[in-house]
Amino acid sequence: MKKIFLLTGIILFLAACGSKEGDKKVRLEQLRKEHDKLTLEILKLEKEVNPAGIVSATKVNFEILTKKPFDHYIEVQGRIDGNENIGVSPRNQGGVVTRILVHEGDNVTAGQVLAELDAEVLKQQLKDLKNKLSFATDIYSRQKTLWDQKIGSEVQYLKAKNDMESAQNGIATLEDQIKMSVITSPIDGTVEDIPIKVGQMASSASPIPAFRIVNFSKAKALADVGEAYSSKIKTGDQVKVFMPDLNKELDERITFASKYINPTNRTFLVEVALPVTTLVFRANMIAVLRIKDYSNPAAISIPQNYIQNSRDEGQYVYIAVEENGKKIARKRIITPNVTFNGLTEVVNGLTEGDKIITAGYKDLYNGQIIDY
């Protein structure tokens, strides 16, 4: 009984498949008949509308191709910085800030005192040590007088001399430490930031510097460039530095291209020294670096929007030609190279002197009669 049911099911399934296949064939035949009928109607109407068989020309515009320089740039966003941008901290272990002698925006010179730290303990130690030195010097003078007269022992003389020299060295060390209890500027520049306040602890170990001094007499543009371009960019390459805040672009060359890849973001640093100018630069101002990585002095390049795509044939454009006294649109399959700023370099498919159709090309087909 089970075998009968199984055989019956298989027969019904095959019958259904056969029925579906038959329906498709019937539908296909119907569509073919409808297509032939529509084609006849189209031809009949075309003869009625255009009995002389004159094909109207499609109006187009064209442009004669010429070879011209083509440059490709890598565009990355960077920033402006001073050639010297330094965070300043105490030179010793630090201390409590007692006075701040400058304000943000002040111009300072190298060696100028920016702030003073609490050094009272050191000054008291210095005072005590000077008293000891006075006593040790007196003892040494007495022992030397006796030793010159061959009175007393050599040990007493040498000990008095050592005590005096030890006090002198201690005073010199304390004086150096007191000198370092002030924060001074290491460069000429402008005070850009003062994170510390009077009463706070300033230390050389702090991750935040006490002052930031920037020298913009020489400025530079910095950018982090992706690792993929590491083989294309090198020191000396041409670069355009555009500053949107100033609406100004400078033509320069790369002065430093790092050979170190940052493992965190897989980028390397590029620097461009900027010339002395009347432009007012500010730290971290946006700078767009356009780095030239390709150049062809005699290239055929066309606007990117002229290029059309075909799934079967690839990319193509239309050119205007004259055949048998008629102006015809011909499809040209092309091989584009690189694109920049809306222009695409074409390395195959077009030659100098070709008339590329620049308007009306969207509705053309190969061999269509045109006018211009």
Distance of CA 178 to the CA centre of its chain: 45
What is the tens place of the pLDDT at every residue in 266-295? 999 999 999 887 888 888 899 999 998 888
- The domain spans of the chain are 1-54, 58-68+299-371, 75-82+212-295, 88-193
- What are the residues whose beta carbons fall under 8 Å from the beta carbon of 190, sequence distance 6 or more? 105, 106, 107, 108, 213, 214, 215, 216
pLDDT 10s digits, 163-222: 898 889 988 888 877 777 888 898 888 888 899 898 888 887 788 888 998 888 788 999
User: Does residue 57 carry a pLDDT above 80?
Assistant: no
For residue 258, the model assigns a pLDDT of: 92
State the pTM of this model: 0.55
231-255 average pLDDT score = 91
Reply yes or no on domain 58-68+299-371 having CATH 2.40.420.20: yes
Amino acid at 104: E
Q: How much is the pLDDT for 20?
A: 58
Half-sphere exposure of 216 (CA within 13 A, CB side): 18
Of the candidate CATH numbers 2.40.30.170, 3.30.420.40, 1.10.287.180, 2.40.50.140, the domain formed by 75-82+212-295 belongs to 2.40.30.170
